[in-house]
Amino acid sequence: MIVVYLPIALIASTLWIGFVSAISFMEAWLKFRAPGITIPLGLGIGRLVFNVLNKIEWVLATLIICNLILTKEQFINPIKGGHGMFYLIPLLILLFQTLWLLPQLDARAQMQINGKQVSPSKLHIYYAGLEVVKVVFLATFILNLFKNITT
């Protein structure tokens, strides 16, 4: 019999990587290549999609933390040799994106949709970079979860 250690955390973190990869690394730039998609229309779609993605990420992050807390294992304590930091980093990135980065990007997009001039910014580059870091740490977290599967 196979025993999956922290099954909810494993499923939720895998789904989290899937959502981030599909949306941030594919949908975000592909939509602007579709015929008939204008910059304002693409930005409006992006605002909607990333708002929903953010909510989904919080649901998945909450499921993971609940699973980690309920196990009361050393796994969550990075100081005692656990691998919790591999979850903590994506959680902190998500918090930063939610509280500061996404509102900044959303405001800029709304200004462009309204026809106002927006000065160049590196916020999208920061967002993409943080998404890469988030995926790398979540993948490492998942690998550590897989190491704890027993038969």
The model's pLDDT over 22-53, given as tens digits with 9 standing for 90+, comes to 999 999 889 999 999 999 999 999 999 999 99
Range of the domain at 44: 7-147
Residue range 85-123, pLDDT digits in tens? 888 899 999 999 999 999 999 999 999 999 999 999 999
Quickly list DSSP for the chain: --B-SSHHHHHHHHHHHHHHHHIIIIIHHHGGGSTT--HHHHHHHHHHHHHHHHHHHHHHHHHHHHHHHHHT-GGG-GGGT--THHHHHHHHHHHHIIIIIHHHHHHHHHHHHTT------SHHHHHHHHHHHHHHHHHHHHHHHHHT-B-
Residue range 126-143, pLDDT digits in tens? 999 999 999 999 999 999
The pLDDT of residue 69 is 81
In a domain, 1, yes or no: no
The pLDDT of residue 85 is 80
The total of structural domains in the chain comes to: 1
Say if pTM beats, i.e. exceeds, 0.75: yes
In a domain, 34, yes or no: yes
In a domain, 2, yes or no: no
